[in-house]
Amino acid sequence: MIQLDVRTEKQEEVIKIIFDLIEELRGKYNKEQIIQETKDKGYPATLITELMTRAMGGDLAKHRDMFISTDKKGMLLKLDSLRCIINAYVDEHADKSNIPESLANYAPGRLLLIAMGLATIAAGKGGMDLIKSKYLPEIMQGHSMCYGITEPDAGTNTHKVSTTAVEEGDHYIINGQKIFISEADTATFISLVAKVVSKGGGESIGTFIVDMRTEGVKKTPLDIAAFGDIQYSVFFDNVKVSRECLVGVSGSKGGKQEGISSSVFQALNLERIGVSLICLYMGKVVFSKGVKQAKKKRSSGQPMGSYLNIKHKLAKVSLRLELANLAIKKAAEEFDKKGEPKVVGLYSNIAKLVSSEAAYEAARIALEVYGVEGLNRRDNIGQLMQMVRLPRLGPINNEMVLNFIGENLLGLPKSYR
């Protein structure tokens, strides 16, 4: 078969080294250890720490520039290289992949939340120096992060954020509430988006890194779960934080801070691309299962894939997944080179939209091919059908993505305030 996602010789070499390393670590860390640490700390910290340490040395050291960024204001990991690795992994291991188990054991959603927190810091005044000196050592010790932007009366409309951080002397006093916060129970830090009220009277939207153990921070579980993870409301009641906790500030005008900090867009763009990569992984795995099933002979003597109705549906899904991969590639490249924020935002939202819809369609058609057999626990098609619906609804629903595209790409007027 034709391979559309062509990789360079150097990329193939790096991918082989990474796969060999993954297999080695799989032998070292048994499944029970990974599950227990994920339950205790929110993600398999020991495994991830060794993986990061090994990635910085050994055979990978000479290829470090391919996947590690040296930009002090950029992300540590290059997203397009991560996309290449995920594609290669799916091509190699799609038949063996158990998505529900992988998501539960390796917690990519939790790792994405940590990455969003680091992206916030990277875009701020401290940049990568602050990450390396303070937060990366904390994460290596198993201290994770969550992200707080959504509010009961504002949703994800950042302009209407009502959580306030009022400047008083050499510190800020934070009051407000965030809702639908994943991993608030296991996170040590929250990357918090708030309205910053300065002593000079200016108001802007900035990002704080707040220790969840600070007095006045309370969390309440919600009767809702995403990928099995409980969501939380997090309350801030006169929470006192130092000035250094404000890591992302907006530009100034007339001596006053105003507008929204670029740290917010950095984190949200990364979130969109990260969700797109998870969708691509799930979509390709479930699609591979569907194609394999379509090649099997039926009682009629003919494989189901020989019928034009099935063949054409599968062909259309394969195109949607390939187009999603290209959209993610473009978004990742723009993010990696620190393109203009609105352009990165546009590509990131496009990637999220097309990948989530493609993954859902892949699961839907795979279930058609399987029929009632798709409900068995071995192939998990029925369960996957439920899982791939979620990214169409959150962390931002696809209707809001279409609003963003209509307003920013087509110049159409806003339909909400």
Residue ranges per domain, the chain?
145-260, 262-417
| Residue 124 structure tokens | 């701020």
Residue 329 has pLDDT above 90, yes or no: yes
Highest mean pLDDT among 64-78, 105-119, 138-152, 316-330: 316-330
Whole-number pLDDT of residue 69: 64
Of 369-373, 404-408, 409-413, the least confident: 369-373
Quickly state the pLDDT bin for 154 (edges 50, 70, 90): confident
Cβ proximity of 273 and 116 under 8 Å: no
Cβ proximity of 132 and 329 under 8 Å: no
Q: Higher confidence at residue 137 or residue 329?
A: 329
Distance from C-alpha of 117 to C-alpha of 191, rounded to nearest angstrom: 5
Question: CATH: 1.10.645.10, 1.20.140.10, 3.30.70.1050, 3.90.420.10. Which one for 262-417?
Answer: 1.20.140.10
Quickly state the pLDDT bin for 87 (edges 50, 70, 90): confident
Reported as type and span, the H/E element at residue 99 is: helix 99-106
Whole-number pLDDT of residue 287: 93
The percent of residues in the chain predicted with pLDDT above 70, rounded, is 78
Quickly state the pLDDT bin for 255 (edges 50, 70, 90): very low
Residue 236: φ, ψ to 5°: -125, 110
Reported as type and span, the H/E element at residue 35 is: helix 31-41
Residue 42: φ, ψ to 5°: 95, -20
Residue 162: φ, ψ to 5°: -110, -10
Reported as type and span, the H/E element at residue 231 is: strand 229-242
Distance from C-alpha of 231 to C-alpha of 142, rounded to nearest angstrom: 20
Quickly state the pLDDT bin for 194 (edges 50, 70, 90): very high
Whole-number pLDDT of residue 97: 57
Whole-number pLDDT of residue 8: 76
- Give the residue-averaged pLDDT of 348-356: 96
Whole-number pLDDT of residue 104: 46
- In this structure, how many other beta carbons lie within 10 angstroms of the beta carbon of residue 266? 28
- Give the residue-averaged pLDDT of 289-316: 87
What's the gap between Cα 381 and its chain centre? 23
The fold of 145-260 is Butyryl-CoA Dehydrogenase, subunit A; domain 2 (2.40.110)
Residue 416's region, left for phi above 0, alpha for psi from -120 to 50, else beta, is beta
- Give the residue-averaged pLDDT of 71-95: 73
Distance from C-alpha of 352 to C-alpha of 346, rounded to nearest angstrom: 10
One-character DSSP codes across 170-224: TEEEEEEEEEEEETTTTEEEEEEEEEEE-TTS-EEEEEEEEETTSTTEEEEEEEE
Quickly state the pLDDT bin for 95 (edges 50, 70, 90): low
Coil, strand or helix at 406: helix
Distance from C-alpha of 118 to C-alpha of 238, rounded to nearest angstrom: 25
Cβ proximity of 381 and 367 under 8 Å: yes
Residue 296 has pLDDT above 60, yes or no: yes
| Residue 93 structure tokens | 């291991």
Whole-number pLDDT of residue 105: 46
Q: Higher confidence at residue 20 or residue 4?
A: 20
Of 86-95, 215-224, 385-394, the least confident: 86-95
Distance from C-alpha of 257 to C-alpha of 176, rounded to nearest angstrom: 20
C-alpha dihedral, 80 to 82 to 86 to 87, nearest 10°: 20
Distance from C-alpha of 402 to C-alpha of 357, rounded to nearest angstrom: 12
Q: Higher confidence at residue 413 or residue 158?
A: 413
Residue 1 has pLDDT above 70, yes or no: no
C-alpha dihedral, 169 to 171 to 177 to 183, nearest 10°: 180
Residue 94 has pLDDT above 70, yes or no: no
Residue 354 has pLDDT above 90, yes or no: yes
Whole-number pLDDT of residue 106: 47
Quickly state the pLDDT bin for 173 (edges 50, 70, 90): very high
Whole-number pLDDT of residue 82: 81
Q: Which residues contact 337 (CB under 8 A, 6 or more apart)?
A: none
Residue 100 has pLDDT above 60, yes or no: no
Q: Higher confidence at residue 56 or residue 327?
A: 327
**Residue 77: CA count within 13 A, CB half-sphere:** 19
